[in-house]
Amino acid sequence: MSFSEGFATILHVDMDAFYASVAEKDNPKLKGKAVVVGAGRRGVVSAANYEARKFGIKAAMPIYKAKALAPHAVFIAPDMARYAEVSESVMKIFEDVTPLVEPISLDEAFLDVTGARKLLGTGRQIADSIRKEVEAREGITCSVGIAHNKFIAKIASNHCKPNGVLEIDPGKVLEFLHPLPAKEIWGVGPKTNEQLAKIGLMTVGDIANTPRSTLIRVLGQASGASLYELAWGRDYRDVESVHIEKSISASETFDTDLDQSEEILKEFLRLTEKSVERMREKNFATNTVSIKVRFADFKTITRSKSLDLPVSGTQEIFEVVKKLYLNLHLDRALIRLVGVSLDSLVVNEELHQMVLGERASSWRQADSAIDRIKAKFGRGSLRPARLVEDHEEE
């Protein structure tokens, strides 16, 4: 039986060094140079092109380490608005092929092209067509993994980077999968990989040939059972074309450690405003508000609060953020990074259930007016008063 007969055809399309590739497209002078997306003396690497990766630079690496590895590299600040613009164009290319598109992030997505094969050809032909269209329209490249399920397709795309295609026939999945290192399975991070190594499980094949009960005993019920299934190439999840984000977050690493509550709360307000704007743009409200605080010694703590009703107002959410922070009683501790996360998102309903004692005219109306002004005149046209001075200095 051929690949196309009786099996689904799933593509995992992954842009190659997406942020850096967009920067090179917009500034051709960067071509051939080591490009690192990430700025600030104490920030981290958001992305690195393949030239930079030759020197060992990786995403999430501190900027100072990246500069030590490649002092000649070009370091540029991220431009998330630009990346979102290119991502939207790329996703439209995917949607021209199939309505079953599941974005995973700005630069990757799963496509179920099973129903498109009659019109557009085999999975490989569809993948080649997508790659050509992305390069022609956006001037960047992508890699495509083809398989009968999402798990194998994603691994395949990682093994044909950059600018390649790899198709794994259903009959040869275990031949491809079992020799791979255990860390290539979804959910196997450094800690899990260490646990597996302690009991002699180094490859995917080692995991597959270990009793499920042993994996559950070592890793817990959910992780152990999932790992066993994936090690045998079994993944029953469908491509979900309607994808609701579970959370929206923003964080900031300071150039110098802060210890003044007033300054720290100002940063929390900035991050709250940024996160809430993104949330309302997507017509979501949040049920849970969380904060993250990282100290000078890199110790990190988080705190969260679940709300009685979903909220979407900047001021309402900032009051929760402020209370979470003040309840920590940090007493001039040196803080390196803070973050705000809006979790358990739900679609924001038009009808608003009044809370006992709430004014009929509230921050909700003000937020709606602010959103309309920003939509017309730009994001920086209206800001909280305590952030205006900082904004003018940027």
Quick: pLDDT tens for 275-308: 999 999 888 899 899 999 999 988 999 999 988 8
Tell me: pLDDT of 320 over 90: yes
User: How far is Cα 385 from Cα 13, in angstroms, rounded to an integer?
Assistant: 43
**Res 345: pLDDT:** 85
Q: 5 or 83: which carries more pLDDT confidence? A: 83
Where along the chain do the CATH 3.30.1490.100 domains lie? 247-393
Which amino acid makes up residue 206? Answer: D
**Res 307: pLDDT:** 86
Buried b (16+ CB within 10 A) or exposed e, 173-212: beebbbeeebebbeebeeebbeebeeeebebbbbbbebee
- 8-state DSSP, 189: -
**Res 81: pLDDT:** 84
pLDDT over 70 percentage in the chain = 86
Q: For the ranges 39-43, 47-51, 217-221, 241-245, which has the lowest average pLDDT?
A: 241-245
Q: What are phi and psi of 342, to 5 degrees?
A: -105, 115
CATH class for the region spanning 10-16+85-172:
alpha beta
**Res 2: pLDDT:** 46
**Res 386: pLDDT:** 54
Catalytic-labelled residue, pool 24, 51, 108, 167: 108
* Average pLDDT rounded to a whole number, residues 138-153: 97
Where along the chain do the CATH 1.10.150.20 domains lie? 178-231
Q: 371 or 153: which carries more pLDDT confidence? A: 153
* Average pLDDT rounded to a whole number, residues 128-141: 97
Task: Name the residue among 250, 384, 264 with its Cα closest to residue 313.
Answer: 384
- 8-state DSSP, 41: T
User: How far is Cα 311 from Cα 87, in angstroms, rounded to an integer?
Assistant: 28
Residue found under tokens 């743009």: 281
**Res 1: pLDDT:** 38
Where along the chain do the CATH 3.30.70.270 domains lie? 10-16+85-172
The CATH number that domain 247-393 falls under is 3.30.1490.100
**Res 105: pLDDT:** 87
**Res 389: pLDDT:** 52
Q: For the ranges 56-65, 180-189, 360-369, which has the lowest average pLDDT?
A: 360-369
* Average pLDDT rounded to a whole number, residues 64-87: 93
**Res 350: pLDDT:** 43
Residue 14 annotated as binding site? yes
Where along the chain do the CATH 3.40.1170.60 domains lie? 18-80
Q: Which CATH architecture has domain 178-231?
A: Orthogonal Bundle (1.10)
Under 8 Å between Cβ of 113 and 7: no
* Average pLDDT rounded to a whole number, residues 256-261: 92
Rounded to the nearest integer, the mean pLDDT of the chain is 87
**Res 241: pLDDT:** 84
3-state secondary structure of 123: helix
Tell me: pLDDT of 240 over 70: yes
Instruction: Tell me the β-bridge partners of 102.
Output: 110
Tell me: pLDDT of 132 over 90: yes
Residue 255 annotated as binding site? no
Tell me: pLDDT of 385 over 90: no
Tell me: pLDDT of 365 over 80: no
* Average pLDDT rounded to a whole number, residues 72-76: 95
User: In the structure, what pLDDT confidence band is assigned to residue 211 with cuts at 50, 70 and 90?
Assistant: very high
User: In the structure, what pLDDT confidence band is assigned to residue 246 with cuts at 50, 70 and 90?
Assistant: confident
Q: Is the pTM of this model over 0.85?
A: no
Tell me: pLDDT of 309 over 60: yes
**Res 393: pLDDT:** 44
pLDDT in tens, 321-363: 999 999 999 988 999 999 999 998 887 754 344 444 444 445 5
* Average pLDDT rounded to a whole number, residues 80-97: 93
The CATH number that domain 18-80 falls under is 3.40.1170.60
Count how many residues are written for the chain. 394
Active-site residue flag, 108 = yes
**Res 384: pLDDT:** 57
